[in-house]
Structure 1
Amino acid sequence: MRLRLETDILATLPAEVPEVRALKLLRDGFAGGSDLIIALEAEDEATSEELTTSLAERLQKRTDLVKEVRWAQPMEAQAESGAALLAWCVQNADPVKLKEVQARLEGDGAKAQLQKALKSVGGSLDAEKVQRASYDPLGLLDSLDTSAAGALEGSLFGLVSEDGAFRVLMVTPATGVGNYKAAGAWLEQMKGEIAQVTKDETVTVRYTGEPAFQAEIGAGIEKDMSSTIGMTEVFIALLFWIMFRRLKPLMWIQGLVMLSMVLTLGFGGLIVGKLSIMSLGFAAIVLGIIVDYAVLIIQEARQHPQLDAKALRKLAAPGIAAGACTTAVVFLSLLFSGLPGLAEMGLLVAIGVIVGLGVMVFFAPKLAAGKQMEQMVTTRPAWHSNRGIAMAGTLILVLGIAGTFAVKGMPSFLTSAEALRPTKSEAMDTFQWVQERLGRNTEASVPVLITGPAADLRAKTEALSVKLDAAVKAGTLVRHMMPTMLVSDPQAQAANKAFIEWLLREQPRLEKEIDEAGFTEAAMGLLRGVCGVWKAGDTEAAAASILHRILATGERAENADMAKGEGVVLASVSLPGTPGLPDRAKLAELQKILTPDTGAWVAGWETLGGALSSLVRQDLNKQLMPIVGLIALTLFITFRRWRDLVLSVLLLAGGLGALAATMSLLGQGWNLASLAAIPLLLGTGIDYGIHILLALQRTGNDIRTVQATTGRAVFFSGMTTVIGFSSLFFAGNRGISSLGLACCLGTLWILMIVLWLLPHWRAWLGAKKAE
């Protein structure tokens, strides 16, 4: 009951990695991070605009569901928020430029400025100058960087495509929908409201954003959990029936497996407390491993029907315990992984293996002793017990691995973050669609976060803007959109108080002169709007609906892991490439520009892969040596013979080499998640070798007998493990799916080597018949 589903993919990643923190800040630090994005495409611009407006107005009435709706409204509808935003920009403008504006408008200067504006309206061929002179005849906006304002408007606030047929609505839920079930229920209600507006129209409506991802991933985890456990149980039961044809052992094995899983979930709830998208596959893996212990005990009972439960336990327990402890330790080594999701999976599997060991070793001998039919072992020669065929197989294995590496090379390591994304995701596809329709076909926009003390953000933003200007000239960037004029400048605000007070005093005079000059009432709108905001008091609060989507502070962004007094600015950079796929070489150059002193980071999945890849490879290097040392110690304690230790090493090397060669042939590469297959195969593979080598010791190296008895149980064990790992192949996460594929292939290779080649290798190394 304590276990909960963690649907946040970022929660499965290391929080200390700057790129991960940047993504969390991007999502949680700014207003709109939890928005539902509704993408709507109609046949033409008029239909799209009408439907979007109707839909937004309907949703705004549902205050029980919706807190805020943003969409591409007509200019007159944005007058209030626009005035607040301009008032904030002027309040933080360069004091020197504002003094120039004041000097130009004092006395008769205002009349001269208005006559100049009239000439622009009546005689200029520049449409932009005409429009600006019409709504700002006093030139109040001369204090602002209009080029920056234009770039900002064209990038951050774009909610409609160039042809007007595609539009986006940003909907903020009325309450938090962090729980995936709550997100799913809220999303269904939203779809019902939207259907009422679009039911009679030819229109495409799709959904993305945090609520859509939460609902989709949570439902996927639930489905994966139920389907993988059920599928694994069915296939294991079917395999047991095919091999042993006994109903009663099958039933009590299922009972013991269920008991083990209940205990594992109980301990997991106490220790871990959650199942994430990366740890959800632990149950199928545990099922595939612990059922082996019962089968090995049954196999020993069939070979030694005269033994009672105590004697049977004494005979079977050492090999099972050695294998289980080795497997558990290898999975526990994932605790040192840079990916918390994999660490959780490793811990849960290790708990399950130890619990399963205790349950099976305690109960299974009591249920199996003296109740199994004695196994009749055939002495007829078989292909797998022929030494000549085994020698040929060994040569083919070695030459095949070497030849594949010579021709195809080693499997590549994929540094992208694709392994962290869902295998199939409507929300992800929709997000890509939005990028394609709102972006330009020849460039890719990536968000950049500028972090630091709130008081220093303006200076950091201005300094970075200079660097990015140089990058545009050098061809590294297509353009950048820095919201410099929106960033608070406390010193400028203090210096500009005098100008604001002067403008408020002079407002009546300036309005009168605008009227006398012959301008329409609309020409006074900017002056009245800005002065109205200043008279109301809190300019930042008035512009908060826009500012909080670009600026965040530690005091406001409670869930963004920000310190008090810290601030973040959201900028945008366009690189050569296509929407969602920036040129990687240019992206690398951008990352070199964003040095630590700039306080800036690319907050995108595009850079996350490289950062995590380096971390995972470092972790693997740290893990392998302790794992190999621990395996060697376990093997020495178990066998006390150097030959068997060497054979175990050859077994693992052959299996991993064959896996790597197979991946090269299939064109598959290692990724952030599938790299974990290496330590996992070391743990599970050595388990099979222990059972076979111990059986060879007991039988005096009788290959045919071992292959017909213990080999049969090991084959069942290996196939159940393959079944457990194969269920991961169908998981909803690309990384877990690739991990399942790698583990399946590696286990099959190790199984073939341990059952066919390993016994002959032992004979070739000079192991005597009577050991």
Structure 2
Amino acid sequence: MPTLFLDAALWRLMAFARKRPLLVGLFWAALAALSLFQVATRLSINTDSSDMIDPSAPFRVAATKLKSAFPDLDDQVVVLIRSGTADEAKAFTESLAERLRDDENVESLLAPPAEPFFQENGLLFLETTELEDLLARLTNAAPLIERLGPDPTLATLFDALAEAAEQDGASADPETLDALYAGLTEVFTTQDTVLSWEKLLSVGEEPEPEVLLTIEPVLDFTKLKPAQGVKTAILDAAAAVRSEDGLEAEVLITGEPILRTEELEAVSQGIGWALALSGVLVAVLLAFAFRSLRLVAACLVTIALSVILTAGVATALFGQLNLISVAFAVLMVGLGADFSIHLLMHWKDERGLGASERAAGYRTARKIGTALMLTAPTTALAFFSFAPTEFIGMNQLGVIAGLGVLLAFLIAMTVLPAMVRIGETVKPVDRLPEGLMNKVIRPLGIVVGALGIVSLFLLPYARFDADPMALRAVSAPSVIAFNEIADDEDAAPYRLSVLAESEDELLARADGFSDAETVSSTRHLFSFVPEDQDLKLTLIDAASVGLSFALISGGDLGPDLEPALGRLLVALREEESEAARTFETVLRERSLQQLESAAPRVFRFWPRQREALNAQLRAGFVTREDLPDPLAERFVTESGTYRLEILPEGDASDLAARRDFVDQVLSIAPDAAGSARTALSAGDVIEGAMVQASLTAAVLVSLLVLVVTRSIKVLVLLLIPLLLAGSLTTATGTLFGLPYNFANVLVLPLIIGIGIDSGIHLALRAEKTGDPLAGVRGPTGRAVVYSALTTIASFGSLIVSAHRGTSSMGALLTIGMLWVLATMLFVLPPLAQLLYDRKRSRLERTSA
């Protein structure tokens, strides 16, 4: 294995640094200062996962075309307003929308309960039969509505209910009366329940006590968090509604801008905590490894320089990091320590054996020079294998980390010789006993090898999670809101859109999906023009004859509360329904003061309901031009390009259902774009990128090792443990519910790139000495263990991140490095013994 030129090259580099420490120090310090300035002034983070895919990919081309026509479509903020009753939710929404309309952070908003168009024409959007039932119910309740008037009292209500009961429901249908009895019972028996008149006067399904409000925000891209302004404006306006209007509602905010803002917070905080934690853990491990503050400090200096200079390179090359490449800082903590650990461990050992300072450096270069000179380019090549993929997130990290590895090598090989002086009193590294192979390593090697073979059968069950939401923090408010509205058809996140240049084309394209089983409905501009308007308006006009008078009535002052209550109790005795009997019991158990104290909660939303009914009776014929601008702008451009929205049937958050939906839509409209297609297609691209990068890394690293060492044995000793480690990592992730995703797809290529370092050191020691345990027993084995542990510590620190993608990256990398350590320590030596024992047997037979 003619590699003496590598040993000599490393020694010359170390000797140069040793002779010129001041020059070396000034050189790296100047570069570090320049890097810090670049990072502070230019570096930013892009949290848009779609930007991590090559823009020439077909789904990106379709998405770009849709975005150019409707640039604000993906930047909408969705607000979910949830309260105790539908009445309060709508009242809260109206007040919130009124405050936000003039806010500088809001371009436009669409809040149906607060839109005059929907307030007046809402009845036209009901099915004809549903409208008939509602109008019949309202007509029956007209006498009750008339008596209550705009400012009713509890006495008026009780007297009206008594009259209705005495007339067997002539002034209100039995269903309405029972609902009113049940509602009043709840109000009188609780401390905070408010009567929902919306619920009492509706038909069909009970109205939901929540409202969706969509906002087109003004995003400030000069700031790190462009959507922070609109988020703050919404929360401040909601607080004002609570304090000034006395309304209560839960306000949940989501939408891509908010999701990205909170994701950036999670990633930034997670990387910050991980970086700090990894630094502490690595420092502790180095202290155990060297038991010398000077050597630990020297290692930490090389690590810090590696991180800073790599950040400077990243800023100079890209200027903007993504959710994947931002992890380079934590990775470089582990990678930056590897070369220093191997160099100092052997240098210290040689000094302990009695070599002079210079001789110790020379012997270290002769002993591990080839390994050190080979591990830097092999690891860098593994990272550079990310570059040809379509996944820009992986591509960017590969370039940054690849260059970072080379920088870390140069820093360690120059800074350490320049600043480190190891005294004569150090002890050599303890050697493990020779009997270790038979007692420990071979049995454990058999176990690990067997597990590796078993793990191959689990590989078909490994999966890739293509949902970007799988990356985000579960506890983030925007993610909670997203999950809450995921099943709401009006806000379903996984949908598709196609474009049309005319009304005829739009309607034709909509008809094309009428028989699609995976499509629940299509929606376009003309979908919001109600059908059968003539018939519906006739029904409304007929009902308004009696209702209009009831709604303009001033109401009935009625008797005092006590006689009204007495009359109602007598009337309730004749009622047979369960609701009436329960209501009678509650009334008898309450004093007049208790009932009067609940009156504000009974009538709190009555005036608003009365005004809403009055507005609905003013419905008129609706045309396309009558649609509110915030709604129309979502479906047609000023140039006349129409958008057709396609909604999925069933639960599109289920991966299989979503794929069926996307496949069927694309078979009808290949130009369809939207979140449903983007998530799936991006997943397919990234899954392919992981396989491509892994194979590329394996091939490039293998070729380099073969060219440098010219040894098939060394290559075999490296590849078999790596293949086992990769299979075991994937199988472990499958068993413990850690699928591959957008963030952790780089695990397998990283295992090849980083894991091969340990193998190279052990394999080359075995090749040079012919002893399979030569590397394990001495300083090489100890350096391999501590190098792997520092890498695990730095990668494992990512687990603390609230961002699930970053956390899963740390978890899988930790698992992967543990398996790398196990296969290199327990599988490689017995394999080397098998190969070199045969070599020695042949030599002995030839000699004989």
TM-score (norm 2): 0.67
Among all aligned residue pairs of Structure 1 and Structure 2, give the percentage whose two residues are the same amino acid.
20
Alpha-carbon distance, 1:298 to partner:
0.6
Cα distance 1:568–1:271, how it changes in 2: closer, same or farther (>3 A)?
farther
**Which residue does 1:58 correspond to in 2?**
99
Structure 1 unmatched runs, 5+: 87-119, 132-160, 488-519, 534-538, 556-564
Output the CA distance in 1 between the equivalents of 2:107 and 2:687. 44
Structure 1 counterpart of 2:569 = none
Which of 628, 635, 656 aligns to 1:550? It is 635
Question: SS of 1:73's equivalent?
Answer: helix
Count of aligned pairs between the two proteins: 636
- CA gap of 1:445–1:321, structure 2 versus 1, over 3 A, is closer
Quote how far apart the aligned CAs of 1:171 are: 3.0
| Native 8 Å contact 1:379 1:705 kept in 2 | no
Q: Post-superposition shift, 1:668? A: 4.2
Aligned to 1:93: none
Query: Which region of structure 1 is more displaced relative to structure 2, 278-287 or 544-553?
Result: 544-553
Please name the residue that 2:50 is paired with: 10
- Report the counterpart of residue 411 of structure 2 in structure 1: 359
Output one character per residue of 1:655-712: Cα deviation in whole Å (capped at 9) or x when no partner.
2233234334435444454343222111111111111223334555272674231111
Assess if the C-alpha contact under 8 Å between 1:328 and 1:351 holds in 2.
Answer: yes
Aligned to 1:426: 477
- The answer to whether the Cα contact below 8 Å between 2:455 and 2:731 also exists between their aligned partners in 1 is yes
Which of 220, 227, 231 aligns to 1:187? It is: 231
Matched, 1:252 2:298: yes
Relative distance call for 1:740 and 1:410 in structure 2 (3 A) is: farther
Structure 1 residue 39 and structure 2 residue 77: aligned? no
Between the aligned partners of 2:679 and 2:106, the Cα distance in structure 1 is 35
Residue 285 of structure 1: aligned partner: 331
- The residue that corresponds to 2:19 in the other structure is none
Structure 1 residues 526 and 196: CA distance shift in structure 2, 3 A: closer
| CA pair 568-421 structure 1, distance change in 2 beyond 3 A | farther
**1:401 partnered with 2:443:** no
Cα 1:304/1:469, change in 2 over 3 Å: same
Aligned to 2:428, what secondary structure does the other structure show?
A: coil
Change (3 A) 1:548 1:202: closer
CA separation of 1:658 and 1:589: change in aligned 2, threshold 3 A:
closer
Supply the distance in 2 between the matched residues of 1:14 and 1:70 (Cα, whole angstroms): 34
Q: 1:465 aligns with which of 510, 515, 518?
A: 510
Query: What is residue 571 of structure 1 aligned with on the other side?
Result: 645
The Cα of 1:218 is off from its aligned counterpart by 2.1
| Residues 449/477 of structure 1: CA separation in 2 closer, same or farther (3 Å cut) | closer
Given the superposition, is the C-alpha separation of residues 463 and 3 from structure 1 closer, same or farther in structure 2, using an over 3 Å criterion? same
Give how far 1:367 is off.
2.8
Any gaps of 5 or more consecutive residues in structure 2? 1-40, 139-204, 530-613, 844-848
Shift of 1:593: 4.3
1:481 has 2:481 as partner: no
- In structure 2, distance between residues paired with 1:303 and 1:30: 64
Q: Are residue 206 (structure 1) and residue 252 (structure 2) matched?
A: yes
Check whether the contact 1:299–1:709 (CA below 8 A) recurs between aligned residues: yes
Q: In structure 2, what is the equivalent of residue 311 of structure 1?
A: 362
Of the three residues 751, 754, 769, the one matched with 2:821 is 751
Contact 1:301–1:369 (8 Å) recurs in 2: no
Q: Does 1:711 align with 2:781?
A: yes
1:46-102 deviations in Å (ceiling 9; x for gaps): 22222221222122343x3333332123674569999xx99xxxxxxxxxxxxxxxx
Deviation per CA, 1:118-145: give whole Å up to 9, x if none.
Answer: xx9xxx979899x9xxxxxxxxxxxxxx
AA aligned opposite 1:292:
D
Structure 1's 179 and 342: CA in aligned 2 closer, same or farther, altered over 3 A? farther
**Counterparts in 2 of 1:149-164, with a 5 A limit?**
163-164=207-208
Structure-to-structure mapping, 1:319-330, within 5 angstroms: 319-330=371-382
One-letter amino acid of the structure 2 residue matched with residue 401 of structure 1: G
1:418-463: CA deviations, max 9, x gaps? 57631323212202212346669xxx784321136x3xx4344233
**C-alpha displacement of 1:610:** 3.6
Q: CA RMSD in A?
A: 3.9
Partner amino acid, structure 1, of 2:409: L
2:722: which partner in 1?
652
Matches of 2:807 and 2:495 in 1, distance apart? 29
| 1:324 shift after superposition | 1.3
Alpha-carbon separation, structure 2, partners of 1:764 and 1:301: 30
Decide whether the 8 Å contact of 2:349 with 2:429 is kept in 1: no
Cα 1:178–1:769 shift into 2, 3 Å: farther
The answer for the alignment partner of 1:594 in structure 2 is 666
Q: State the alpha-carbon separation in 2 of the partners of residues 189 and 228 from structure 1.
A: 32
Report if aligned partners of 2:44, 2:224 keep a CA contact under 8 Å in 1: no
Counterpart amino acid of residue 59 in structure 1: L
1:488-499 to structure 2, matched below 5 A, reads none
CA contact (8 A) 1:178 1:214 kept: no
Render the CA deviation track for 1:241-281: whole Å, top value 9, x for unaligned: 12221111111222222222222111111101112112211
Structure 1 residues 552, 691: closer, same or farther in 2, change over 3 A? farther
Structure 1 residues 685 and 209 mapped into 2: Cα distance closer, same or farther (>3 Å)? Answer: same
Alignment of structure 1 residues 609-758 onto 2, 5 Å: 609-699=679-769, 701=771, 703=773, 706-758=776-828
Instruction: Give, in whole Å, the separation in 2 of the partners of 1:717 and 1:568.
Output: 59
User: Do 2:93 and 2:114's aligned partners in 1 also have CA atoms closer than 8 Å?
Assistant: no
| Alignment pair present for 1:414 and 2:464 | yes
Q: How many angstroms apart in 1 are the aligned matches of 2:115 and 2:723?
A: 69
Aligned to 1:390: 441
Task: State whether residues 701 and 769 of structure 1, in contact with CA within 8 Å, keep that contact through their aligned partners in structure 2.
Answer: no
Secondary structure in 2 matching 1:766 = helix
Alpha-carbon offset, residue 583 of structure 1: 8.0
Maintained 8 Å contact 1:40/1:203: yes
Map of 1:67 onto structure 2: 107
700-709 vs 291-300, which moves further: 700-709
Q: CA deviation at 1:201?
A: 4.0
Name the structure 1 match of 2:348.
302
What's the CA shift string for 1:147-191, capped at 9, x where partnerless? xxxxxxxxxxxxxx9614201222333554574434325423432
How far off its partner does 1:360 sit? Answer: 0.9
Partner residue in 1 for 2:653: 581
Structure 1 pair 228/373, CA: closer, same or farther in 2 (3 Å)? farther
Aligned amino acid, residue 753 of structure 1? T
Q: Which residue of 2 aligns with 1:451?
A: 499
The offset of 1:287, in angstroms, is 1.1
Quote the Cα distance in structure 2 between the aligned partners of 1:296 and 1:303.
11
Residue 594 (structure 1) shift? 3.1
SS at match of 2:80: strand
1:357 deviates by 1.1
CA distance in 2, matches of 1:285, 1:318: 24
Q: 1:656 to 1:24 in 2, by over 3 A?
A: same
Q: How many Å apart are 1:283 and its aligned residue? A: 0.8
1:312-360, CA deviations, whole angstroms, 9 ceiling, x for partnerless residues?
6744543222111111111111122332112112222112111111111
Could you say what secondary structure the match of 2:227 adopts? helix
CA offset digits 1:575-616 (Å, max 9, x no partner): 033xx53683585156234337x35425234x4444234323
Match of 2:384 among 321, 327, 332: 332
Q: Structure 1 residues 356 and 483 mapped into 2: Cα distance closer, same or farther (>3 Å)?
A: same
Check the 8 A contact 1:482/1:571 in 2, yes or no.
yes
Q: Which amino acid aligns with 1:414?
A: F
The residue matched to 1:257 in structure 2 has which SS? helix
Structure 1 pair 312–369 and aligned structure 2 pair: CA distance change class (3 A):
farther
In the alignment, the residues of structure 2 paired with residue 463 and residue 372 of structure 1 have an alpha-carbon distance, to the nearest angstrom, of 88
- Residue 281 of structure 1 aligns to a residue in which SS? helix
Q: Distance in 2 between matches of 1:543 and 1:203?
A: 26
Amino acid at match of 1:434: I
SS at match of 2:672: strand
Query: Which piece of structure 1 moves more, 718-727 or 21-30?
Result: 21-30
